[in-house]
């Protein structure tokens, strides 16, 4: 099943474990390069994880700030695709990430929640955390593209 079809399915119910595995197998680009994986996808909420390794840290050994912004953009964009039922694409037009704390090992969990999903614009709030510690908060604004994703 294509990513678009999985996103359409997630609009009516959360993706099941086997569907999440299928989704993650098809994810490429920066998500694949970073080693990020989606752990929950449903209408209005997306969760993903990233195990921290040397490839995502800056010279001082803590996670590079751009990684958090990338996770926020990815989680919000998948949420935006679900909100559009996989029929239309989305593109980020604003990503504001606030840094709260740093981390050098463990797993980062990014949770995106819809604030507003209109026909043209969407707003998502994304929190990256490690354990009980909040690392960043992001606001991601998406534009819903006017053409189908084919």
Measured distance CA(103)–CA(53) in Å, rounded? 11
What whole-number distance in Å separates Cα of residue 33 and Cα of residue 27?
Answer: 10
Structure token digits, residue 104: 């050098």
Our answer to whether residue 19 is catalytic in this structure is no
Active-site annotation holder among 19, 22, 73, 125: 73
Q: Which two tokens stand for residue 78?
A: 């998948």
Token pair of 131, please? 């354990």
* Residue matched to tokens 């935006």: 80
User: Tokens 């752990």 belong to which residue?
Assistant: 39
**Would you state the structure tokens that stand for residue 60, as one six-digit string?**
């001082």
End-to-end CA distance of the chain: 14
CA–CA gap between residue 19 and residue 22 (Å, rounded): 5
Residues tagged active-site: 73
């Amino acid at each position: 099943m294509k990513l678009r079809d999985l996103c359409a399915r997630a609009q009516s119910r959360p993706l099941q474990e086997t569907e999440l595995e299928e989704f993650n197998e098809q994810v490429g680009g920066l998500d694949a390069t970073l080693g990020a994986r989606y752990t929950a996808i449903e209408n209005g909420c997306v969760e993903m994880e990233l195990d921290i390794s040397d490839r995502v840290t800056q010279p001082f050994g803590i996670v590079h700030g751009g990684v958090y912004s990338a996770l926020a953009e990815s989680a919000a964009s998948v949420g935006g695709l679900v909100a559009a039922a996989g029929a239309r694409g989305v593109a980020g037009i604003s990503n504001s990430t606030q840094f709260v704390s740093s981390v050098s090992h463990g797993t980062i969990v990014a949770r995106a929640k819809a604030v507003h999903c209109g026909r043209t614009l969407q707003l998502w709030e994304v929190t990256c955390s490690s354990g009980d510690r909040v690392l960043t908060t992001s606001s991601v604004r998406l534009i819903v593209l006017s053409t189908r994703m084919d």
